[in-house]
């Protein structure tokens, strides 16, 4: 079974590729290396450097390889940047997905698992968030993910394509063997930034908002380990390959931790004081996002194994300590 992984050189993509090889799949990776790293792609994959917006590039790939299904990660993922450069996000995330779906249709590939995001929900009305909640994104990144989902839905109705949209909550952690992890330039995510303070690369961590309506005043998020996300992609692919119908799944640990709790756990794991400074709220940040992953657990049999906060921070710390400059 040969699976095309777009964006397989990125953070969640590279961990998924590793898990797929371990599960016995042949893996073909397509990545333009704009934010991913060649070193994150194992030698056992066939690697195509190119852009999914380039129809000729994808057509050549589909002609050369016998692709049975696609896992689609290739997209921009920075919320703040998406507000400043919305058209860049529409171009890469939405147009890129359109070209990919056209090429899949042209080459009779009818199965796709793809990265969506909890950002499709915006400010939730109920916690924990279920897949049936309203989709009302509050930032451009989340909007592009919602459009990608809708594009899949209409394409499925027209062509018989089947898809699984995986709505990640806060992806974090690193491979337990320390060889793969998170590397973004610039880094904007809480856990890597906190660990850069512990590593001596930054002097302090900013706490964005301490007046939220939460027990300690800081935002609550559902942190889910990247290796658990990787496993969910394989389970979703297998679900579709055995005839499962198109749908969306939330992927979170089901537990919420505040910014202060994350910093406190990082202090414990690293033994570093990690100075924290209270700053203004970051615009567009909901107070509390926690997933119900009941559907992924019951339909896919997904069981997160690494998503305890201590495991997340320990694996991330192993990675950041041994790879302070990323790959
Ligand atoms: N955050 C923070 N300081 C930082 C980066 C993030 O306080 O330097 C907060 C952010 O406001 C949010 C949480 O940490 O409440 C997680 O943010 P992150 O950017 O990691 O993920 P997001 O929830 O935006 O996907």
pLDDT in tens, 88-102: 999 999 999 999 999
Three-class DSSP category at 235: helix
Measured on CA atoms in the order 126, 132, 138, 141, is the torsion positive or negative?
A: positive
pTM: 0.97
CB atoms within 10 A of CB 203: 9
Phi first, then psi: give them for residue 149, nearest 5 degrees. -60, -45
Place of tokens 């303070």: 197
Read off the tokens for 225.
């380990």
Query: Distance from CA of residue 9 to its chain's centroid?
Result: 12
Instruction: Give the residue, out of 129, 173, 229, 282, with the most ligand 1 atoms within 8 A of its beta carbon, to mutate for a pocket test.
Output: 282
Three-class DSSP category at 259: helix
195 lines ligand 1 (CB under 6 A): no
- List the alpha helices (DSSP H) in 207-285: 226-241, 259-270
Read off the tokens for 314.
């320990």
Q: Given this model, what pLDDT does residue 283 score?
A: 83
- Rounded distance from Cα 246 to ligand 1 centre (Å): 31
- Single out the residue of 220, 172, 195, 188 nearest to residue 78, CA to CA: 188
Q: Given this model, what pLDDT does residue 184 score?
A: 86
Instruction: Give the residue, out of 190, 277, 288, 312, with the most ligand 1 atoms within 8 A of its beta carbon, to mutate for a pocket test.
Output: 190
Query: Distance from CA of residue 200 to its chain's centroid?
Result: 27
Q: Given this model, what pLDDT does residue 81 score?
A: 93
- Rounded distance from Cα 131 to ligand 1 centre (Å): 23
Q: Given this model, what pLDDT does residue 285 score?
A: 86
**Which residues of the chain are under the pLDDT cut of 70?**
none
Give the CA radius of gyration of the chain: 19
- Closest CA to ligand 1's atom 20: 189
| Cα dihedral 26, 162, 9, 144 in deg (nearest 10) | 180
The active-site residue, picked from 11, 141, 223, 306, is: 141
- Closest CA to ligand 1's atom 6: 190
77 lines ligand 1 (CB under 6 A): no
Is 306 one of the catalytic residues?
no
- Single out the residue of 102, 93, 116, 91 nearest to residue 161, CA to CA: 102
219 CA closest ligand 1 atom index: 15
What does the alpha-carbon distance between residue 10 and residue 32 come to, in Å, rounded to a whole number? 10
281 CA closest ligand 1 atom index: 11
Three-class DSSP category at 80: helix
């Amino acid at each position: 079974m040969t699976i095309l992984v777009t964006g397989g050189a990125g953070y969640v993509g590279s961990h998924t590729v590793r898990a797929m090889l371990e599960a016995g799949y042949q893996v073909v990776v397509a990545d333009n290396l704009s934010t991913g790293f060649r070193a994150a792609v194992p030698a056992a994959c066939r690697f195509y450097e190119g852009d999914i917006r380039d129809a000729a590039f994808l057509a050549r790939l589909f002609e050369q390889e016998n692709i049975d299904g696609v896992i689609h990660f290739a997209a921009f993922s920075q919320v703040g940047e998406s507000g400043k450069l919305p058209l860049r996000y529409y171009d890469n995330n939405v147009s890129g997905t359109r070209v990919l779906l056209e090429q899949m249709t042209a080459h009779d590939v009818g199965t796709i698992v793809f990265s969506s995001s909890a950002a499709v929900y915006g400010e939730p009305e109920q916690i924990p968030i279920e897949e049936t909640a309203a989709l009302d994104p509050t930032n451009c990144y989340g909007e592009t993910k919602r459009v990608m989902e809708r594009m899949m839905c209409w394409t499925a109705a027209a062509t018989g394509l089947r898809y699984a949209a995986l709505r990640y909550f806060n992806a974090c952690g690193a491979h337990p063997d320390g060889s793969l992890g998170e590397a973004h330039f610039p880094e904007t995510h809480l856990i890597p930034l906190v660990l850069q303070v512990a590593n001596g690369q930054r002097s302090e961590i900013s706490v964005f908002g301490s007046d939220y309506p939460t027990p300690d005043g800081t935002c609550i998020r559902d942190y889910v380990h990247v290796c658990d996300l990787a496993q969910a992609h394989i389970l979703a692919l297998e679900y579709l390959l055995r005839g499962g119908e198109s749908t969306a799944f939330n992927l979170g640990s089901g537990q919420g931790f505040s910014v202060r709790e994350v910093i406190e756990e990082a202090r414990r794991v690293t033994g570093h004081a990690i100075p924290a400074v209270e700053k203004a709220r970051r615009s567009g940040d909901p107070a509390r996002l926690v997933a119900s992953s009941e559907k992924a657990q019951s339909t896919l049999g997904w069981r997160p194994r690494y998503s305890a906060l201590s495991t997340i921070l320990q694996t991330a710390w192993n990675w950041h300590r041994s790879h302070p400059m990323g790959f």
